[in-house]
């Protein structure tokens, strides 16, 4: 069995920056609280907590004496205001690609235009984006939902269209095509970040040539689950958080297996999965040799 590891597997620039910032603060002895789990990877969050970080869901729950780290997903404008009002020390790790969408959302509000967001309305990044505009907002997660929206304001005022940074590229193209056909006065900004695009593209290329794709990452990680969807269009794709979840049966009859990981998956977990798989192969080869030895 051949194992091919995706070159883009693992931490993206924005996640890497947020994780390094938090570890550095802890090492320097700061008391650190993150607003929500720093990344969608339970193992990494557990390690940060073991080093003293705490996770709070709301700015109002910030314990006294703790500094706050805003994760790469970003937060609504109201959260900045609340932190400012509390006089909290803020370390803002909002990914610059997300911050760019916040500025577009703010502009839409200032210009009195509706904001259309392609994404998951419950995802923290989308909640943050929506919280930076003051005008009407419409969120859709696919073409069918977009088609069902009643958007009378757009024909009057125009509008801004953005995408969650981890939105599926194929779905985005479908939605943009539809919007261009129906409206002539929209400003469309392709805000899917390069890291997402490159990971999805590589997952597709690998899936096309492999009998099985293993995708490593948090079950609540949007970009990881998108990779599972993308790869699943072309081959069998399974999602795991750690090496312990690998199942022997998946590899029956498999010649080539592709391995990739979401943008919030630490390299240590990827290495662990790869070495467990190699072990597995070695054991199989050994037992095959033993069978031959025994038959001689
Ligand atoms: Fe930023 Fe893209 Fe990662 S938006 S957090 S570099 S997936």
- Which CATH architecture group holds 13-95? 3-Layer(aba) Sandwich (3.40)
Pocket test for ligand 1, best of 14, 20, 191, 226 (most atoms within 8 A of CB): 14
| ipTM > 0.90 for the complex | yes
CATH number of 2-10+194-295: 3.40.1010.20
At 150 the pLDDT is 81
Domain ranges, ordered by start, for the chain = 2-10+194-295, 13-95, 97-188
Fold of 97-188: Cobalt-precorrin-4 Transmethylase; domain 1 (3.40.1010)
Identify the segments of the chain with pLDDT beneath 70. 281-296
Atom of ligand 1 nearest to the CA of 97: 4
Residue nearest to atom 2 of ligand 1 (CA): 193
Show the ligand 1 pocket: residues with CB < 6 angstroms. Answer: 12-15, 72, 95, 97-98, 165-166, 193, 195-196, 223, 263
Residue nearest to atom 5 of ligand 1 (CA): 14
Separation of first and last alpha carbons in the chain: 25
Write the DSSP string, 67-110: EEEE-TT---HHHHHHHHHHT--EEE---HHHHHHHHHHHHHHH
3-class secondary-structure state, position 279: helix
How far apart CA 246 and CA 237 sit, in angstroms, is: 12
Q: Which one is catalytic: 2, 67, 111, 125?
A: 125
Q: Which two tokens stand for residue 237?
A: 């794709």
At 295 the pLDDT is 47
pLDDT in tens, 246-273: 999 999 999 999 999 999 999 999 999 9
Fold match between 2-10+194-295 and 97-188? Answer: yes
Residue nearest to atom 1 of ligand 1 (CA): 14
Q: Describe the crossing of helices 96-110 and 13-27 by its angle, rounded to 10 degrees.
A: 110
Residue 27 a catalytic site member: no
Residue nearest to atom 6 of ligand 1 (CA): 14
């Amino acid at each position: 069995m051949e194992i091919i590891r995706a070159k883009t597997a693992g931490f993206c620039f924005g996640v890497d920056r947020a994780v390094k910032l938090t570890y550095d603060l802890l090492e320097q002895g700061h008391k650190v609280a993150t607003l929500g789990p720093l990344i969608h990877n339970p193992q990494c969050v557990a390690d940060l907590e073991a080093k003293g970080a705490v996770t709070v869901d709301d700015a109002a729950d910030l314990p006294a004496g703790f500094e706050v780290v805003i994760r790469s997903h970003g937060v609504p404008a109201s959260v900045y205001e609340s932190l400012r009002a509390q006089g909290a020390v803020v370390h803002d790790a909002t990914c610059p690609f997300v911050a760019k969408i916040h500025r577009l959302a703010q502009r839409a509000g200032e210009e009195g235009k509706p904001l259309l967001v392609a994404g998951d309305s419950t995802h923290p990044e989308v909640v943050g984006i929506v919280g930076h505009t003051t005008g009407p907002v419409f969120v859709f997660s696919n073409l069918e939902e977009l088609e069902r929206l009643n958007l009378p304001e757009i024909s009057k005022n125009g509008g801004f269209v953005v995408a969650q940074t981890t939105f599926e590229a194929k779905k985005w193209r479908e939605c943009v095509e539809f919007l261009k056909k129906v409206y002539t006065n929209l400003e469309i900004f392709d805000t899917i970040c390069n890291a997402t695009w490159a990971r999805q593209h590589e997952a597709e290329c690998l899936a096309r040539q492999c009998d099985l794709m293993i995708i490593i990452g948090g079950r609540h990680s949007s970009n990881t689950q998108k990779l599972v969807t993308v790869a699943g269009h072309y081959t069998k794709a399974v999602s795991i958080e750690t090496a312990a979840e690998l199942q022997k049966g998946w590899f029956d009859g498999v010649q080539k297996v592709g391995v990739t990981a979401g943008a919030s998956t630490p390299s240590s977990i990827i290495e662990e999965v790869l070495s467990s798989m190699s072990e597995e192969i070695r054991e199989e080869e050994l037992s095959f040799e033993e069978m031959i030895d025994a038959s001689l």
